[in-house]
Structure 1
Amino acid sequence: MLRIKKKNQQGDDNLFFPRWKRQIQYAWQNVFNDFRQHAIASLLTIIVIAISITLPTIGYLLWKNANQAAHQWYPTPNLTVYIAKNLNAKDTDALITQIKQFPQVETLTYLSRDETIQEFKSWSGFSEALDLLDENPLPAVAIVIPKTEAKHSEILHAMQAAIIKLKGVDDVRLDDSWFTRLTTFTDMVRTIVMTISVFMIIAVALVIGNSIRLAIFSRRQTIIVMQLIGATDGFILRPFLYSGMFNGFISAILALILSEIFIFQIDSIILNVSSVFGTIFNLEGLNWDESFFIILISTMIGWSSALMATKMYLNTPHITQ
């Protein structure tokens, strides 16, 4: 009866999932044992990787907050349509309806000639001088606010050219000078961040690959013995792959902490600068989705760089000599 139980237990242990579970446990034990044995070198590697991840993360945060500040401090770009003075009320209503039918228009605000001169008096300070005039010199205007997807210089200029061709329109002014400069600046920052990110990804992959290569050389005698007793390549590779994933994961967590420290340190400086502009602006850090994405990418980079390094150096002849 005892023999039957032992045979059943041995049969259960040889099933796929129990065997796979034991291999996973063995691989992670190797990772943690190697980390404890080379704690200082492992910590230095993780710090270097974390700094490499932190630099593009901070660049992304600056670009993200710059966009939010631009939307908070600057008005929406709009087109001001100057309507001909000799246009009667019926033709003016028809013109306004025609402009509203443009697919890029979100809202339209119409100001009659009387409303425009009252508005001009309220902020210009020349109300007494304007009262001396026999005739109102200002035309009626229509302020066009474009839709979000139409807030691009090319689309706005195309809409300006189309509206100015309408009968009864004297001129169309596009208030996008600041918008063009801001778009150019944010595009430049985005390009810089993307370039730095590419270089930092390469640096992270090289650092992890080099640490895995050193681990392979330090354990090459063990690898030779494992190959001689019939260990599969997957069994030999797994601890090194998990080590790369572990380094990438821990480095990403540390990079997120460093990024939050950076935001905390400069938040007071940004508050002082924003108060000069008469507004309050608080820096925003990474949300949960962005943090998870950084951790996932770092872990994948660690796994892929460890795989390439392990395959490369295990296949070289001097490893088995």
Structure 2
Amino acid sequence: MAQVGKSSAKRSKPSYVMSVIGVALVLFLLGTLGLIVIHAQKLSTYFRENIEIQVILRDDVNDKTAQALKDTLATRPFVKSVEYVSKDMAAERFKKDFGEDFIALLKSNPLYASINFKANARYVNPDSLKVVEDRLLENSNVREVYYQRALVSKLSDNVRKIGVVILGISIILSIVVIVLIDNTIRLAMFSNRFLIKTMQMVGATRGFIARPFDLRSIVNGLISAVLAIIGICIIMYYAQKELPEISAMRDYTLVGFLFAGLILIGICISLFSTHRSVMKYLRLKLDDLY
């Protein structure tokens, strides 16, 4: 009887190895998608927070009043960063950008002073910016509020469409991941069916039989998740090496949650599938195992 058990255990080892590798590959695919989702969100935030809104001031507004208005804007929740650009600073920037000294030609500076700010990402959409614009125009010192309205509208539409596509892919891939991991583990447990039945025939309880397999499944799920995480880290390393700009958009907190999620998914699905398979073989008759 001991020899039968040892023989079965030896036969099960290759299945465990293939099971671990198979689950690791599936978790790697899921983790890669999660990484894409994280960076897509950060990329969207990056573009949104780099759209500049110009609050153009009237000619009779002095620097002290403009600075006070700038300080007030800095306290608003929709403002991420803000700066005051005087008429002279605007003229210097124009000269630097276009290489022409129009002041010498016109003998005056026709540009307006402005307060330029970049909004927090959640406010960069047509509806929110329209509310912000209306509030700013209520101030008698404000002449006009300018920003690229078409760009904001197009950006919001594209982000919404991409979000729907990614959500659909995520749901489909999550279902596929659960099914693939479940089938991979069930195949691994198939080679242990005679060992499970033999232990039951000699009087072992179901809990006693299932316990070592459940513990092994937890270890296997953890190993699979760690292998998947290592693979994702390698991808992240080479992606950052080729595109250094990615490092500025990386959110290590979200990436940490992603890795923790992969570990949890690997362990839970592995444990659930293994325990279910053990119970299945315990309920079958001996002749049904062949």
CA distance in 1 between partners of 2:74 and 2:47 (Å): 27
Show the counterpart of 1:39: 13
User: 1:149 deviation in Å?
Assistant: 6.8
Q: Distance in 2 between matches of 1:91 and 1:210?
A: 75
- CA spacing shift, 1:33–1:298, aligned 2, 3 Å: farther
Is residue 263 of structure 2 the alignment partner of residue 295 of structure 1? Answer: yes
User: Which stretches in structure 1 are left out of the alignment for 5+ residues?
Assistant: 1-29
**Amino acid corresponding to residue 272 of structure 2 in structure 1:** S
| Structure 1 residue corresponding to 2:93, chosen from 119, 126, 129 | 119
Aligned to 2:276: 308
Between the two proteins, the alignment pairs up a number of residues equal to: 277
- Report the AA paired with residue 310 of structure 1: V
The question of whether the paired residues in 1 share the 8 Å contact of 2:58 and 2:113 is answered with yes
1:257 alignment partner, one of 230, 241, 248: 230
- SS of equivalent to 2:139: coil
Alignment correspondent of 1:5: none
Aligned ranges 1:17-36 → 2 under 5 Å: 36=10
Report the 3-state secondary structure (helix = DSSP H, G, I; strand = E; otherwise coil) of the residue aligned with 1:137: coil
Where do residues 150-229 of structure 1 align in structure 2 (5 Å cutoff)? 150-153=122-125, 155-174=128-147, 177=151, 180=156, 183-184=159-160, 187=163, 191=167, 194-195=170-171, 196-212=173-189, 214-215=190-191, 217-226=193-202, 229=203
Aligned to 1:105, which of 79, 97, 103?
79
* Contact map agreement 1:111 1:141 (CA 8 A) in 2: yes
* Larger RCO, structure (CA 8 Å, separation 6 or more): 2
Q: Which residue of 1 aligns with 2:28?
A: 54
Distance 2:286 2:236 in 1: 46
Matches of 2:47 and 2:224, distance apart in 1: 36
Find out whether 1:131 has 2:99 as its counterpart. Answer: no
Q: How does 1:228-247 map to 2 (within 5 A)?
A: 229=203, 231-247=204-220
Cα pair distance change 1:237/1:100, threshold 3 Å: closer
Q: Distance in 1 between matches of 2:7 and 2:116?
A: 69
Q: RMSD over aligned Cα, in angstroms? A: 4.0
Max Rg structure: 1
- Corresponding residue of 2:117: 144
Alpha-carbon deviations, 1:157-206, whole Å to 9, x = none? 43233223433323212358376478458746853663324431332133
- 1:220 to partner: Cα distance: 5.0
Per the normalisation by structure 2, the TM-score is: 0.73
